[in-house]
C-alpha cells in the first residue's frame, strides 16, 4: 500500500507542475488534465493490492492533505484567518483538475462560484469515485462464468 500511496503523490506533484506549465498553451492544459486522470486511474486499478478496501485507503491517504485543506477552508477559527490560505493551497493541490473545472458553467451560489464548491467537495468525490470503481471491478472479477 505504501508503494501505491508514494506513487500517487509523486504522479500528482509531477502532474501539478506539468498542468501548471500547460496552462500557457490553451488546450494543452485540458489534454494534460485528462492524461493525469487516466494515469491516476491506471495506477489505482493496476495496483498489486488485492483488497479494494486497502486501495481505497491508499486513495484516502493520498487525498488527506486536500481533506484537511477542505475542512480548514470552511472552518471559522477565530484569530487565525486560515480559511483564505487553506483554499489557496487547496486550489494549488488540485491544479491538475483546474483546466477541466474551467469548463464548468459560470454560475454562482450564495455569491461563490460553482468551482469553489466543487473544489471543496473534490477530495470526497475522488475517494467515493475510486471506492465505487474498485468495488465494481472486484464484483466483475468475482462474477461466476456462466
Partner 1 sequence: MKKNIGDTVCIWVFPLLSLLLAAGISLANPQAFEKGSVARIYVQNAFQGKTGYGCEGYYGNQIDFSGLEPGDLILGSYPECSYGHYSHAGLYLGKGEVLEGFVDMGVNIQNIEHYRQYAEVCLLRVTADEKTKNRAVQYARNHQGCIFYPLAFKPGDRIFNCTKIMWQAYKIQGLDLAPDPNLWISPDCFRQNANVELIREESI
In whole angstroms, give the CA distance from residue 115 to residue 22: 20
| Secondary structure of residue 1 in the 3-state scheme | coil
Minimum distance from residue 109 beta carbon to partner 1 (Å): 10
* Owner of C-alpha cell 500557457: 24
Binds partner 1 (CB under 8 A): choice among 1, 5, 20, 61: 20
Task: Give the dihedral sign, CA 30/31/33/34.
Answer: positive
Tell me the window of 54-62, 64-72, 99-107, 126-134 that interacts with partner 1 (CB under 8 A). Answer: 99-107
Shortest CB 146 distance to partner 1, Å: 30
Which residues lie closer than 8 Å to 92 by C-beta, 6 or more apart? 16
Residues that bind partner 1 (CB under 8 A): 7, 10-11, 14-15, 17-18, 20-26, 28-29, 32, 35-36, 39, 42-43, 46, 73, 84, 87-88, 91, 95, 98-99, 101-103, 105-108, 111-116
Amino acid at each position: 500500500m505504501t508503494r501505491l500511496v508514494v506513487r500517487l503523490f509523486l504522479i500528482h506533484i509531477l502532474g501539478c507542475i506539468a498542468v501548471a506549465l500547460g496552462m500557457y498553451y490553451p488546450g494543452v492544459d485540458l489534454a494534460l488534465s485528462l492524461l493525469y486522470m487516466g494515469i491516476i486511474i491506471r495506477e489505482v486499478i493496476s495496483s498489486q493490492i488485492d483488497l479494494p478496501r486497502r486501495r481505497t485507503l491508499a486513495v484516502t491517504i493520498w487525498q488527506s492533505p486536500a481533506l484537511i485543506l477542505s475542512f480548514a477552508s470552511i472552518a471559522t477559527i477565530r484569530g487565525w484567518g486560515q480559511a483564505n490560505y487553506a483554499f489557496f493551497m487547496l486550489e494549488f493541490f488540485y491544479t491538475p483538475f483546474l483546466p477541466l473545472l474551467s469548463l464548468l458553467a459560470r454560475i454562482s451560489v450564495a455569491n461563490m462560484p460553482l468551482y469553489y464548491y466543487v473544489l471543496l467537495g473534490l477530495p470526497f468525490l475522488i475517494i467515493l469515485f475510486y471506492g465505487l470503481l474498485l468495488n465494481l471491478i472486484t464484483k466483475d472479477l468475482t462474477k461466476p462464468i456462466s
